[in-house]
Structures are given as structure tokens and as C-alpha cells.
Structure 1
């Protein structure tokens, strides 16, 4: 596993910083593989939720180098646009098919049907699938506005009793999708999506949060320093000791890093 250039805790959240995106991805892949193998050893199967998007490319590419019993793994994803077809270039179902299902052939993949006739009924159906058995691992990122999945600032509920909801996308989230090249204009980005809620994302035995790139630096600074509140949903990670936040030096560019000879410090609350 690559060696982090810095390691510290932010309240209860372990944070590791790597020299670059490739090292971050390799470390995340090795960590995820170990968690999956442990679940399979203990229970004979593993259930894993994967984020989609550009920030997860290095991680999912590095998974190809890992020994994982994919024939024992059930895969979920964490959001999908309402009204979008599964073959749309920006569909998260398509992302999962191309980057997880096709190369790894897991035992099962449960997709959120974004163009289901009834989005609320689809939320209930997917929630039932998620709750059927324990989740072992959630692999996710942090949005440019601090969202987790599509739990948007001031909309996210840390105590939500639901595990899947229809949400309205924040303008910043829609602009991020354009900036990442998934849509040509903001007007083309769907206004709503089905998203796993914050309690669902944090329900797994292990939570792995991979956040590379300079464009995420402000969101990471807010995650680690702002008051814990739905104003920046990712701040809840500081209350999540079973999560690990993995950064590269670009995404960590707006925070003060500890010296390498001080491997663990606590950030001010």
C-alpha cells in the first residue's frame, strides 16, 4: 500500500493524505479489498455500495490489481437522476455497469431505476434491498458543495429514518456535473435524483471516502473545520469513527497538514 504523506484525526475521523491521485486510488483499493475479503471470510458474502463519478476513477482502476472474491459480492450504488435512461452517458447505472459490473462480474448488482414510473415507489423498493442484510462497505466521495451522494447542503438529514429519497439538486451540484463533462449545460442536468440518505451511507461496517483533486479543496476544508451541520453534509464524517477520509495533496491543499514525523494529531474542534 502506498505510504501517506500525512495522517491525522479530525475529531473521530481518521484522515490520510497521499502524494497524488494514483497513490490515493491504490491505497483505497487495497483497503476496500481487505474489507471485502474479511466480510466474505466471516459471512460468506459481502455487500458494497459504490459511488460513481470522476473522483472514483483512480480507485476503481486500482481495484483491478486486487484479489477480490467478486462472485461473493453484491453491489449497490448511491444515486441516480430521476427520468434518465440507463444508457444515457451520464447515467450512474451506466457508470456502474462499465466500471464495476463489466470488469469484475460481481454476484449481483442492484440498480436504482431512475426512469421508474414512480420515483417514490422506487425509493421504497431500493431501501428494502439495502436493508435486507448488513452493508459491509460504502465507498464514496464528497461533492464540491460538501454533499454526500446527493444529500445537498441544508437538505441533508443526519437523523433521516429513510434510506432512499427523491431530492432536488443544488445548483452547485448541477454545475459540477457540467464541469465534469457529463452534460453540456446546467439546464440539461436533471433537477431531481434518487439518493441514499446520510444514515444509509453511514450504516455500513466500514465507510471509505476518496476525494482527490484541487477542485475539492474548499469542500474538504469545510468538512474538517466547519461546524457539524447539514449546511455542509460531509461534516458528519467527523462523528463517524468507522469512516476513513483519503485525500491527495491537491484536495488537502486548503488545510494545514501535520509534519510527516507527527503521524497523528487532532484538529481543533
Structure 2
């Protein structure tokens, strides 16, 4: 695991996007295609803005996977991650991606959607995963204590109160009661199977989670601490999110 600290949130996002773009280009040059995971949330705003502005990427050779989605939200809900990805990524790129496997949160049975996606992902090797770290140190929607053992690619998870309050605080919902209590999430083991991880984590509100994830012990109560085990992971921070690090 490597850490890159920049002065501003915008620079943090730009450096993450540029690093990710090099990884995507390398995969295309090596295999003729690339498989990518994309995250959502406020922490990814700047990174995605810079990523879609890069004209050097041939998105027609890229297949994308969606990291997680709330159960029970339609695609037109303001907090829908499908809506987020279409507005901030898909509709912004000049060359359409080869394929985008969205997580659909509207089926009544989340397990059925997991099964559909798992059949696809079990046959796929992920080259680059763009992810973030939550205020409670979650990766995807794997809240503490995270399941470090399951090998299922997508799982149904319960969202803890800290996670739901973060979604409220970021302005996606009008009240805590509106925030769903369950989601479909890519599992920890599946994220860790990615060849490379590009982790973008700006903002002061993430500083405590960043510190425990990078400098604390590896433990399920700090889900992002698992990133310490990945041999090709770069965490991009701004000066605010890095403010509690000892080094």
C-alpha cells in the first residue's frame, strides 16, 4: 500500500484519475481490454470529473462494474448510484464503454440480483478498482465489523447508523429515516482480488478513518485496514484527510 498526499481535494482527484488512467491503458495494451470497478459518493466527484476529461482512454475496450447500490431505490431517486454513475461518468465520456454492469437495487430480492451479478463477475478478472473509504472506514458498503472471509463477489449487507448518517450528511437524503437499511455491496474479498486499487479519500471528515485504516492494526472493525494487504494499492489523500497521520 502506498499513500499520495496532495494539498487540495481537486489535485487529489486529478492525481488519482491520472494514475488510474495509466493502469487502464496498460491493461488495454497488454490484453486488448480492461475491466474496471467504479465507486460513487462525494469523495469521487473530483476523481471522476478528471477521469472523464482524459481523451487518451478508449472506453470502448473497457467493461465497468458498479461497486454497490441501496436496496429499494429506483434509478431516478437522487441518491441512486446508478443515476450518479450515468450522470457523472457514462453521459460524460465521448466513447461509450464496452459494457456497464449496474447493480439494480429495485428487485425485491437482493439475493437474486447478487446471484445474477456473481455469475458475471466469477468469470471476470478486475484490472482496476476505483474505491473510497467511508467515515466509519467502510469500503463499498462493507460496514464494521466487515466480513473478510466471504468469497461471494456481491452480498446483501446491513448498513450501520454511522454509514447511514454519512449518506444523510452528504445531502443524498432529507432524513435518516429515508436512508435504506440494506444494500447490495461488492464483498471485501472481491475488491481485494482487483489487480490494482485506486483509493480516493479527500475531506477532514475522513481523517480518523484514514488514520486507523493506514496506521492501525488490520481488523474487521476497521474494514479499510484490509487495504494494507494489497500489493498494488495507492491511497490518494488531500491535506485534510491526511491531517491525523503520524508520518
TM-score (norm 2): 0.96
* Count of matched residue pairs: 244
Instruction: State the distance in 2 between where 1:65 and 1:162 align.
Output: 34
Equivalent residue number for residue 187 of structure 1: 177
Q: CA deviation at 1:34?
A: 0.7
Equivalent residue number for residue 148 of structure 1: 139
Partner-residue secondary structure (3-state), 2:48: helix
Residue number among 48, 51, 76 corresponding to 2:36 in the alignment:
48
Equivalent residue number for residue 246 of structure 2: 256
Equivalent residue number for residue 10 of structure 2: 22
Q: Aligned pair 1:95/2:99, yes or no?
A: no
Q: Aligned pair 1:64/2:49, yes or no?
A: no
Residue number among 93, 98, 103 corresponding to 1:107 in the alignment:
98
Partner-residue secondary structure (3-state), 2:89: helix
Note the residue ranges of structure 1 that are not aligned, 5 or more in a row: 1-12, 258-269
Q: CA deviation at 1:118?
A: 2.0
Instruction: State the distance in 2 between where 1:120 and 1:209 align.
Output: 27
Most deviating of 62-71 and 134-143: 62-71
Partner-residue secondary structure (3-state), 1:128: helix
Residue number among 64, 79, 85 corresponding to 2:68 in the alignment:
79
After superposition, what is the alpha-carbon deviation per residue over 1:66-102, rounded to whole angstroms, capped at 9, x for unaligned?
A: 2111111111111000111011110011111111111
Q: CA deviation at 1:225?
A: 2.4
Runs of 4 or more above 6 Å deviation: none
Q: Please tell me whether Structure 1 or Structure 2 has the larger radius of gyration of its CA atoms.
A: 1
| 2:37/2:67 contact within 8 Å kept | yes
Instruction: State the distance in 1 between where 2:24 and 2:39 align.
Output: 16
Q: CA deviation at 1:63?
A: 1.1
Instruction: State the distance in 1 between where 2:215 and 2:12 align.
Output: 22
| 1:138/1:202 contact within 8 Å kept | no
Equivalent residue number for residue 237 of structure 2: 247
Partner-residue secondary structure (3-state), 2:40: coil
| 2:63/2:99 contact within 8 Å kept | yes
TM-score (norm 1): 0.89
| 2:71/2:184 contact within 8 Å kept | yes
Equivalent residue number for residue 6 of structure 1: none
Instruction: State the distance in 1 between where 2:186 and 2:119 align.
Output: 12
Instruction: State the distance in 2 between where 1:22 and 1:139 align.
Output: 16
Instruction: State the distance in 1 between where 2:75 and 2:240 align.
Output: 33
Instruction: State the distance in 2 between where 1:32 and 1:130 align.
Output: 20
Partner-residue secondary structure (3-state), 1:49: strand
Q: Aligned pair 1:228/2:218, yes or no?
A: yes
| 2:151/2:190 contact within 8 Å kept | no
